[in-house]
Amino acid sequence: MKEKITWVKNTLPKTDCAQSMTYLTEDAMLKVQRFHHSFPQYTVTPLVSLKNLARALGVKGIYVKDESFRFGLNSFKVLGGSHAVGRYIAAELGKDLSELDYPTLVSDQTKERLGNITFYATTDGNHGRGVAWAANKLRQKCVIYMPAGTSPSRLNNILREGADASIVDMNYDDAIRYCKTQVEQDRHGVIVQDTDWPGYGDIPAWIMQGYGTVSWEAHNQLRSAGVERPTHVFAQAGVGSFAGSVHGYFANAYPGQQPVMCTVEAAVADCLARSVRAGGTLTAVGGDMPTIMAGLACGEACNLSWGILKNHSDFFISIWDWVTAVGMRMLGAPLPGDTRIISGESGASAAGLVFTALRDAAYAGLRDELGLNGDSEILVISTEGDTDPDRYRRITWDGAYAGD
């Protein structure tokens, strides 16, 4: 028996999140995008129009932003880590980010002025790989902690970037706390994490800004495709920083007429949905969070992103492994004429949800409540490729996690 998708409509009273939204204005995004554009590895990732799937499912358009091409690292996460590292170094050098492009970042002069730094992070895989990549380019040390259950392939990806990486016997949130204690003992240590706590807010904000390159690109690509305004935007959430970045950007882009914006979580770690049900009080999920959606297995939300999401996300939807497995197979074996997308377990979560809501009669109520119909033009982001190739094949070849 398949576990049921659940959802909650956001009826929380609006609060003042203007300060958080300033991180995601068009002017702020242009500065971030120029920084990323200076990297020799930078290319705009594809926005794929699944025209035939949209026609078959009775909507006007389904557009998938494919982040498997990002910097050769198979995930969008490097955008946040690299931007945060860049902003940190700019502050250390007394410069504005606009004065710090990639060649300056990796120059001998910058290395000499910075001295020795060790960048620390906790990760389910993609964030830590991005931080390790940035540290490697800077010729700095990097220490990465990964929660229990992390696949060897994700660990090896980070080790190949030259980091000191290990799997600890803790869940994700406890691993962050352990990482903090290690940084406190290293006078050259800097923690680069996409969640916040008292006294630690700048770097998470810079990471959210870095993620904004995804939305900035997608927005311009949609306009080039003749879509002036998507009707629906779906973004997956672990701690919520990525979803906050996406929804904050599109709320700024369409003031007063924002798209219907949906936050998608793994049901075993849906701290944001639970927080809505708790009347807006952040509600953590503890203990083991068994899900193949490793990037979403985070039980404690980022306060900064929560300020955006509780004001601008219309629905919080909790899904199970079978939903994202459906998305992986659907994107990997598309209808004739549509482009194939290799999307990993966290990457396909939003696409799997959209497909299920439109195709499965059991979710007609969800479809109606979201207002999905023949005029809908839907944006989803495939946040990662096959970052765990063995599991990807088990799901797409062997039908694992079908939920029957």
pLDDT (tens digit per residue) in 89-120: 999 999 988 888 888 888 898 888 888 899 99
**Whether the predicted pLDDT of 196 surpasses 80:** yes
Edge-to-edge strand ranges of the sheet holding 61-66: 6-9, 315-319, 260-266, 232-236, 377-382, 61-66, 47-49
pLDDT of residue 43: 95
Using DSSP, state whether 119 is helix, strand or coil. Answer: strand
**Which position among 65, 77, 141, 310 bears the catalytic label?**
77
Nearest of 151, 203, 214 to residue 176 by alpha carbon: 203
Helix (H) or strand (E) holding 166: strand 164-167
Under the banding of pLDDT at 50, 70 and 90, the label for residue 275 is: very high
Q: Is residue 120 part of a domain?
A: yes
Q: Which of 65, 66, 124, 270 is catalytic?
A: 124
289 shares a domain with 391: yes
Cβ atoms 52, 9 nearer than 8 A: no
Q: Are residues 173 and 112 in the same domain?
A: yes
Closest by CA position to 147, among listed 132, 165, 134: 165
pLDDT tens digits, one per residue of 49-90: 999 999 999 999 999 999 999 998 999 999 999 999 999 999
CA distance 387 to 393: 11
Q: Answer whether residue 159 shows pLDDT above 90.
A: yes
pLDDT averaged over the chain? Answer: 94
Q: In terms of Cα–Cα distance, which of 221, 218, 232 is closest to 60?
A: 232
pLDDT of residue 18: 82
Task: Kindly state whether residue 85 falls inside one of the protein's structural domains.
Answer: yes
Q: Tell me which of 169, 199, 229 is where a domain ends.
A: 199
Helix or strand or coil: residue 401? Answer: coil
Identify whether residues 260 and 338 lie together within a single domain.
yes
Say yes or no: 55 and 92 in one domain.
Answer: no
Beta bridge partners of 262: 234, 315
Structural domain ending residue among the three candidates 181, 199, 217: 199
Same domain, residue pair 67 and 154: no
Report for 37-41, 114-118, 332-336: range of highest mean pLDDT: 332-336
Question: Are 228 and 288 in a shared domain?
Answer: yes
Would the pLDDT of 266 be above 90? yes
Tally of CA atoms within 13 A in the half-sphere of 128 that contains its CB: 33
Q: What is the pLDDT of residue 267?
A: 97
Show the tokens assigned to 274. Answer: 């639970």
pLDDT at 101: 86
The percent of residues above 90 in pLDDT, for the chain, comes to: 79
Distance CA 36, CA 158 (A): 21
- For 18, the enclosing helix (H) or strand (E) is helix 18-21
pLDDT greater than 80 at residue 350: yes
Q: Is residue 404 part of a domain?
A: no
3-state secondary structure of 50: coil
User: Does pLDDT of 396 surpass 80?
Assistant: yes
Residue 368: inside a domain: yes
CATH assignment at residue 347: 3.40.50.1100
* Tally of structural domains, the chain: 2
Query: Mind listing the pLDDT tens digit for each residue in 354-370?
Result: 999 999 999 999 999 99
- Judge if 30 and 113 occupy the same domain: no
Residues 189, 231 share a domain: no
Give strand pairing partners of 146: 167
Same domain? 65 vs 116:
no
- Whether residue 213 lies inside any domain: the answer is yes
Mean pLDDT of 236-246: 95
Is 403 a domain residue? no
Does pTM top 0.75 for this prediction? yes
Instruction: Report d(CA 14, CA 19) in Å as an integer.
Output: 14
Which 8-state DSSP code applies to residue 195?
S
For residue 177, what are the domain limits? Answer: 78-199
Contact yes or no for 217/65 (Cβ under 8 A): yes
Is 214 in the same domain as 297? Answer: yes
Do residues 145 and 72 both lie within one domain?
Answer: no
Picking from 22-36, 222-236, 265-279, which range would have the lowest pLDDT averaged per residue? 22-36
DSSP states of 219-280: HHHHHHTT-SS-SEEEEE-SSSHHHHHHHHHHHHHSTTSPPEEEEEEEGGG-HHHHHHHTTT
Does residue 404 surpass a pLDDT of 80? no
**136/228 same-domain check:** no
pLDDT at 19: 81
Sign of CA dihedral 394, 367, 277, 246: positive
Write the DSSP string, 326-347: HHHHHHHSPPTTSPP----TTT
Active site residue 124: yes
